[in-house]
């Protein structure tokens, strides 16, 4: 894992919804090394622990990274207050991202809410071969639809309240689709449902997990998760072995 820490100048900031923000930073070598599905650990002044935020966009030519995040607590509230010209202390790129494989295959990307940003850069590689299934609470909370469409991806939306697209679960949209591979990021119930669909269809599936993190580099055991491979069960780290895992290696708790 090749990562570094760098002070990155913010070059743009946009507010996407009432509580979701979009930052692009100058990231030099960090942008060159980044891979879709990896994350950054961002320092928040006065906090001991950095905040993990997925890499949403990578522009290697411009050497920039993009992050889209939701305000959840003090750290993300501070992040929402930064301005273009300010610098962020970023440790990146961290973890294992999505293995894209054959991008001519029919891929389906399934995400829910703030689970959409980590999928954007991976879906870019698949262009029109990617179908995006995106679930949100309501029309007001839809994010990144135009960005996926700019990738050439086809986008289907589901909302909990039926205010836009399919009224119901985003995973309902898998039912009538034909695909070769699944990539997913979102809540645990959504991911479990995606994994069941992958098992039923016999297609490969990679899921991105979220866990509270401290060091972010596999040194503190703060993000332990139960995994299995070749019939053997063991504990791994979401930060180092993931956050993206082959669905068959994940052992769900409970």
Ligand X SMILES: Cc1cc2nc3c(=O)[nH]c(=O)nc-3n(C[C@H](O)[C@H](O)[C@H](O)COP(=O)(O)OP(=O)(O)OC[C@H]3O[C@@H](n4cnc5c(N)ncnc54)[C@H](O)[C@@H]3O)c2cc1C
Binding residues for ligand X, total number by CB under 6 A: 21
Closer residue to ligand FES in complex, CB, 5/221: 221
- Interactions with ligand X, residue window 36-65 (CB under 6 A): 39, 49, 51-54
- Which residues make beta-bridge pairs with 184? 110, 207
What share of residues in the chain are helix, strand, coil (percent, to 5)? 25, 35, 40
Binding partner at 127 among ligand X, ligand FES, none, C-beta below 5 to 8 Å by kind: none
Using DSSP, state whether 225 is helix, strand or coil: strand
Q: What is the CA radius of gyration of the chain?
A: 17
Q: Does 245 bind ligand X (CB under 6 A)?
A: no
Q: What is the 3-state secondary structure (H, E, C) of 20-55?
A: EEEEEEECHHHHHHCCCCCEEEECCCCCCCCEEEEC
Binding partner at 159 among ligand FES, ligand X, none, C-beta below 5 to 8 Å by kind: none
Q: Does 219 bind ligand FES (CB under 6 A)?
A: yes
In Å, what is the CA distance from 202 to each residue of 112, 129, 170, 185?
23, 19, 20, 19
- Interactions with ligand FES, residue window 3-32 (CB under 6 A): none
Q: Does 137 bind ligand X (CB under 6 A)?
A: no
Binding partner at 216 among ligand X, ligand FES, none, C-beta below 5 to 8 Å by kind: ligand FES
Q: Does 223 bind ligand FES (CB under 6 A)?
A: yes
Structure tokens belonging to residue 21: 């923000």
Binding partner at 13 among ligand FES, ligand X, none, C-beta below 5 to 8 Å by kind: none
Selected range binding ligand FES among 63-71, 118-126, 200-208, 215-223, rule: CB under 6 A? 215-223
Q: Rounded to an integer, what distance in angstroms lies between the CA atom of residue 47 and that of residue 43?
A: 8
Answer for which of 59, 180, 222, 246 binds ligand FES (CB under 6 A) is 222
Query: Residue 176: CB partners within 8 Å, gap ≥ 6?
Result: none
Q: Does 218 bind ligand FES (CB under 6 A)?
A: yes
Selected range binding ligand FES among 16-24, 60-68, 145-153, 221-229, rule: CB under 6 A? 221-229
Residue in the block written with tokens 């992040």:
79
The footprint of ligand FES (CB under 6 A) covers 213-216, 218-223, 237, 239
């Amino acid at each position: 894992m090749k990562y570094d820490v760098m002070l990155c100048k913010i070059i743009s900031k946009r507010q996407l919804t009432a509580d979701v923000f979009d930052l692009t930073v100058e990231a030099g070598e960090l942008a060159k090394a980044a891979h879709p599905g990896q994350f950054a650990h961002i320092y928040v002044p006065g906090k001991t622990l950095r905040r993990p935020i997925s890499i949403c966009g990578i522009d290697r030519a411009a050497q920039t990274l993009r992050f889209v995040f939701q305000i959840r607590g003090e750290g993300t509230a501070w992040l929402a207050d930064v301005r273009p010209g300010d610098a962020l202390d970023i440790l990146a790129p961290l973890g294992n991202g999505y293995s894209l494989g054959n991008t001519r295959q029919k891929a389906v990307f399934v995400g829910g809410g703030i689970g959409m940003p980590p999928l954007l850069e991976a879906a870019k590689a698949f262009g029109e071969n990617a179908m995006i299934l995106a679930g949100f609470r309501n029309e007001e909370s839809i994010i990144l639809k135009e960005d996926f469409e700019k990738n050439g991806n086809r986008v289907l939306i589901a909302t909990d309240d039926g205010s836009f697209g399919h009224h119901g679960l985003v995973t309902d949209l898998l039912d009538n689709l034909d695909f070769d591979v699944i990539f997913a990021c979102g809540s645990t119930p959504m991911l479990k449902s995606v994994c069941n669909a992958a098992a039923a269809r016999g297609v490969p599936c990679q899921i991105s997990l979220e866990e509270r993190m401290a060091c972010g580099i596999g040194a503190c055991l703060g993000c332990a998760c139960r995994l299995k491979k070749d019939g053997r069960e063991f504990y791994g780290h979401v930060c180092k072995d993931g956050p993206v895992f082959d669905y068959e290696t994940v052992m769900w708790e409970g």
